[in-house]
Amino acid sequence: MTFGSPAGLLHFGEALFSLLWLVGLIIVAKTGATAVRLGTYLGATLFAFLWDWIQGQAWFFRLTFDDRLVPAFVLDGRAEPLFAPLAYGLVFGTAAVAGLAVYPYLSRKFGAWTYLIVGLVVGVLDVLVEGGVAVTLLKMYVFDYDSGWEILNLPWSTVLYVAIMAAGLLFAVVNVDRLIRLSRASPDDGVRQRDSAGVWWICLVLPAGVNYVAVAVVALIFNSFTPWR
């Protein structure tokens, strides 16, 4: 199924989002490739390779991708575009890493409201970038929701999911980072300690764990109202 965009514009869109993901990966790796930073960024990408395929179906996101997008794999006749999980990593990985970097400043000003503020900011950006660019301008995919539940052709369920996911992942990352620092005898002695394999695995699976919570909350809310046709 196609939705009206020229093939060149469509491939430009997926190349752009993929390139931005790569730029984010390089920046994170160059500025501190710790398990909390790089592990979370990669984890936010890797979990989505299967879960975006699952969540995109009729019970949740109800989205259909343009058939011309480059697939990462095809399962049960449904293709998962390569750019999609990279977009997860770009959005949630960047929000978590950047949020962790500025958390001390934000927490002094806003306290526990920091997580809500970050979630709202990422949600608004998602409306502008995903709704305004990917869905409305480039027409890379469409959602099968009633238009009354959409803004810039992006359903409110997706916006709410993004906000909860961003806020929840930042909360998890901040607290895991705090626990790691407390577990080390001298976290501020200027000597960088290598993260163990166990810490890397924890950070890699953090996004998947937060995703379960975000999906559960949004699915319960929106399935109660059945906001689709």
The token pair at 159 is 């916006």
Specify if 123 maps to a domain. Answer: yes
Residue 173 lies in domain: 7-186+194-225
Give me Rg for the CA atoms of the chain: 18
Domains identified in the chain, total number: 1
Tell which residue, 137, 135, 141, 128, has the closest CA to residue 67: 141
Beta carbons of 157 and 149 less than 8 angstroms apart: yes
Residue 182 lies inside a defined structural domain of this protein: yes
Q: Regarding beta strands 154-155 and 71-75, do their DSSP bridges make them parallel or antiparallel, or are they unpaired? A: unpaired
- Give me the mean pLDDT over the 120-125 stretch: 97
Reading the block at residue 105, the tokens are: 């400043």
Token digits of residue 126:
């998602």
Q: Flag whether 12 is in a domain.
A: yes
Q: Tell me: the pLDDT tens digits for 196-209?
A: 899 999 999 999 99
Instruction: Tell me, yes or no, whether 40 lies in a domain.
Output: yes
For residue 192, what pLDDT band results from cuts at 50, 70 and 90? low
CA dist., res. 175 & res. 115, Å (int): 12
The predicted pLDDT at position 185 comes to 59
Residue with token string 């000597």 = 191
pLDDT in tens, 13-27: 999 999 999 999 999
pLDDT digits over 38-94, tens only?
999 999 999 999 999 999 998 899 999 999 999 999 999 999 999 999 999 999 999
The answer to whether residue 1 sits within a structural domain is: no
Residue 184 has pLDDT above 80, yes or no: no
Domain assignment of residue 2, yes or no: no
pLDDT greater than 90 at residue 189: no
User: Has residue 136 been placed in a domain?
Assistant: yes
95 in any annotated domain: yes
Other Cβ atoms less than 10 A from the Cβ of 203: the count is: 27
Which residues, at least 6 apart from 37, have a Cβ–Cβ distance to it below 8 Å?
28, 31, 97, 100
